[in-house]
Structure 1
Amino acid sequence: MSGFILETQNLTKEFRGFKAVCDVNLRVQRGHIHALIGPNGAGKTTCFNLLTKFLVPTSGRILFNDKDITAASPAHIARMGVIRSFQISAVFPHLTVLQNVRIGLQRQLGTSFHFWQSERKLDALNDRAMALLAEVDLASFADTITVDMPYGRKRALEIATTLAMEPALMLLDEPTQGMGHEDVHRVTELIKKVSTGRTILMVEHNMKVVAGICDRISVLQRGCMLAEGTYADVSRNPQVMEAYMGTEAGAEGAHAQELEGAH
C-alpha cells in the first residue's frame, strides 16, 4: 500500500462547458492533516463533492487506499471509511448530545440505522459514545439537548459523530466557518487532537488555522491546482499571493505579511 491514502488523477468536473475543477492531481499522505485552500470560487467544495461522489466527475480518477473508487456510490465510499462533515452543522437538534453520537455508532451493532431501537439495546453503545465525547471535550454536555448548545460545541459534536463512523479519512468542510476567536481556537485544537492516528483533508479559509495544524496545503484557483507544499512553501509563492490579493507586486508584500502574521 502506498503512502497516499487518497489520490486524484486529472480530476475534472464540467458544468455546461464550464470547468469548475480542471485536471486536479491531489495526493493526501496517510496520517497527515492536509488543507485545500483557495479564493472564493476556486472549486474547493466542488472538489470535496467529487471526492465523496455527491458529484460525478466528468473525467479523471479517484483512488482511495490504491483502489479506484471513481464509480463508487456515496454510501459505499462512506462504508470504506471516507467520512465527511459539512459547512453547516449536521446534527439532530432535538436529540441529546449522547443520542447524536449513538446514532453514528449504530453501524457497530450490525443493525444499520434504526432510530426507534429500544433504549436498552442502544445503551450498549453508551460507553463508547461517552469515550468519544470525552475525546472532543463534550462529556459534560452528554445530556444536553443539542439545539441548546453553542455553535462551536455543535461543530465539536459533529466531529464526534464523524469519529463514531470510524473514518480512515475525515473530510472537514470549513470546520471553523462562522466562529468567534475562542471557538476557532477550541475547534482547531480539537482537530489537532483527533488527528492522531488518522488522516484529515479539510477545506479551510482561516489561514491561522491552516498555518497552525496542517502538514501540507494544496491551493486551488479557478478549478486548477495552483501550488502545493508546506505552509512556508505556499505562503511565499508569488502566484498564491496574487490569487488571494487579486493584484500583483504592490499587493504581494501586504499578503506576505498577512500570511507570515498568521503563522
Structure 2
Amino acid sequence: MTDWVIETENLTKEFKGFRAVNNVDLKVARGTIHALIGPNGAGKTTCFNLITKFLQPTTGKILYNGRDITRMKPHDVARMGLVRSFQISAVFPHLTVLENVRVALQRPLGTAYHFWKPESSVEVLDDQAMDLLEQVGVSSYARLTAGELPYGRKRALEIATTLALDPEMLLLDEPMAGMGREDIKRISDLILSVAENRTVLMVEHNLSVVADLSDRITVLARGEILAEGSYAEVSSNPAVVEAYMGTGHG
C-alpha cells in the first residue's frame, strides 16, 4: 500500500461561477518529487494555493499524512511540516545572508521578532545557519546582504530559510522562474539533494527540469487532471500533447 503524504479528494475551487479547479484527486507519495504541470490557465497555481492553504476550497478535502487539513491556516500546516518555499522565506534584502537564515531558525523557537534582545542570544544559531548555507552552496556569501546576491543564489538562500523550518514536505512554486541555464542546473541539483529525505511537490513551467527531477507528474488542463505518470508516459500521451500544442507551454 502506497504511503501518501498529500491526498486531495474532489478538490474544487470556484471564482464567481468559474471552476478554476474541478474535482481534483491528487496523491503525492512519500519520498518522491512530484510535479504539477499544465498549459496556461490549467489551474496549477490555484491547486497549489489550495494545498498550501492560501485559498479555501469551494468543496472537497485535503489530507496531509492522513489528517484533514482542509480548513487549517497556512502557518498551522507549516508547523506540521508542510512548508511552501518562497512564501515565508521572502528574503530580507538588508539583512546579511547569515542573518536571514538565523531569523528563519528563530521561528520555531518563537523568538523570531525579539529584535531587542542582545545579538549574542541568537549567535548560538550561527553554526546551524552556516550548515544550512553550506547545504545550499551559499556559505561564502554569508556576510553579504541578501540584496547583493545574484538571482540564482537568492533563490538558494530562500530554500535555506525554508529548510530552517525542517519541513517534512516542501512545496516549490516555479523554482526555476527567471533563471539562466547555470542557475537552473545549480537549483536542480539542490532540489535533488533536499529531496533525499523529504517529499517535494512543485509547480514548474520548464519541462526539461520536470523531466530531469520528477518521479511522477500530474498534468492539469482546464482545472482537471488530464494525465498522470512518469515523464515518458505523460509526454507521449496524445491528450497532453494536444493540450500543450493548442495553447503554448505557458
One fold, TM greater than 0.5? yes
Q: Distance in 2 between matches of 1:244 and 1:115?
A: 49
SS of 1:196's equivalent in the other structure is helix
Distance 1:108 1:240, change over 3 A: same
Q: Distance in 1 between matches of 2:23 and 2:115?
A: 42
Q: Distance in 1 between matches of 2:17 and 2:45?
A: 19
Contact 1:93 1:146 in 2 (8 A): yes
Q: Distance in 2 between matches of 1:117 and 1:200?
A: 36
Distance 1:113 1:25, change over 3 A: farther
1:59 aligns with 2:59: yes
Contact 1:35 1:217 in 2 (8 A): yes
Higher relative contact order (CA 8 A, sep 6+): 2
Once the two structures are TM-superposed, the CA of residue 109 in structure 1 deviates from its matched residue by 3.0
Partner amino acid, structure 1, of 2:68: D
Once the two structures are TM-superposed, the CA of residue 2 in structure 1 deviates from its matched residue by 5.9
1:133 aligns with 2:114: no
Across the two proteins, how many residue pairs are aligned to each other?
A: 249
Q: Distance in 1 between matches of 2:49 and 2:130?
A: 31
Give the aligned CA root-mean-square deviation in angstroms.
1.9
Partner amino acid, structure 2, of 1:146: A
Per the alignment, residue 142 of structure 1 pairs with 142
- Alpha-carbon displacement from aligned partner over 1:156-207 (angstroms, at most 9, x marks no partner): 0000001001111100000000011111111111111111101110000111
**Which ranges in structure 1 are unaligned for 5 or more consecutive residues?**
256-263
Per the alignment, residue 258 of structure 1 pairs with none
Output the TM-score relative to the length of structure 1: 0.90
- Alpha-carbon displacement from aligned partner over 1:111-134 (angstroms, at most 9, x marks no partner): 354344321111011111011000
Per the alignment, residue 226 of structure 1 pairs with 226
- Alpha-carbon displacement from aligned partner over 1:204-232 (angstroms, at most 9, x marks no partner): 01111111111000001011111111111
Q: Distance in 1 between matches of 2:147 and 2:137?
A: 18
Percent of residue pairs bearing the same amino acid type: 63
**Which ranges in structure 2 are unaligned for 5 or more consecutive residues?**
none
Q: Distance in 2 between matches of 1:10 and 1:127?
A: 45
Q: Distance in 2 between matches of 1:22 and 1:86?
A: 26
Contact 1:86 1:172 in 2 (8 A): yes
Distance 1:84 1:115, change over 3 A: farther
Contact 2:84 2:162 in 1 (8 A): yes
1:170 aligns with 2:170: yes
Q: Distance in 1 between matches of 2:212 and 2:53?
A: 30
Output the TM-score relative to the length of structure 2: 0.95
Partner amino acid, structure 2, of 1:28: V
Q: Distance in 2 between matches of 1:52 and 1:245?
A: 30
Partner amino acid, structure 2, of 1:151: Y
